[in-house]
Structure 1
Amino acid sequence: MGARFLELSEVAAELAVSDSQVYHMVRSGELPAIKIGGRGQWRVERVKLEEYIARKYTETADWVRTNPLTDK
């Protein structure tokens, strides 16, 4: 079993995006995270990351349904 909490760089690696993209997702509230420690480092709970991924699959499927490909 993996660690309960992930650093933003670990989340970025899992999602194959940049660290700054993950930071923006956290700061905007799109991806739930907590600030810990005296230096206020961000951590994302693994279960919250998995919920985020599942939500994105649903959102993407909805978008695909409402934006079908058409041959023109």
Structure 2
Amino acid sequence: MEKRFLSLADVVETLNISMAQGYALVRTGDLPAIQVGPKKVWRVEAAELEAYIERMYAKSRERLKGSAAADG
């Protein structure tokens, strides 16, 4: 069975970003997350991470279309 929730460490490893960048994604709301347990550790639902990745792909495609149109 696949895990429903990922630690922030799992997320930053998957995205190959720094922990500071991971915290920034959560704090800005770009990547929805919840805090659980007495230590209030961050958890990201696997489906939310996949949705974030899909949004970033869409954003990249739009950026590339825009730069291609500007080039000629």
* TM-score when normalising by structure 1: 0.90
Shift of 1:50: 0.3
Shift of 1:34: 0.4
Letter in 1 for 2:59: E
Shift of 1:2: 2.4
Q: Paired residues, what number?
A: 71
Letter in 2 for 1:23: Y
* Residue 67 (str. 1) matches residue 67 (str. 2): yes
* Residue 57 (str. 1) matches residue 57 (str. 2): yes
Corresponding residue SS for 1:22: helix
Question: Deviating runs (4+, > 3 A) in structure 1?
Answer: none
CA RMSD of aligned residues (A): 1.6
Letter in 2 for 1:55: R
* TM-score when normalising by structure 2: 0.90
Which sections of structure 1, spanning at least 5 residues, go unmatched? none
Equivalent residue number for residue 33 of structure 2? 33
Corresponding residue SS for 2:44: strand
Which sections of structure 2, spanning at least 5 residues, go unmatched? none
Once residues 6 and 20 of structure 2 are traced to their aligned partners in structure 1, the CA distance between those partners, rounded to angstroms, is 15
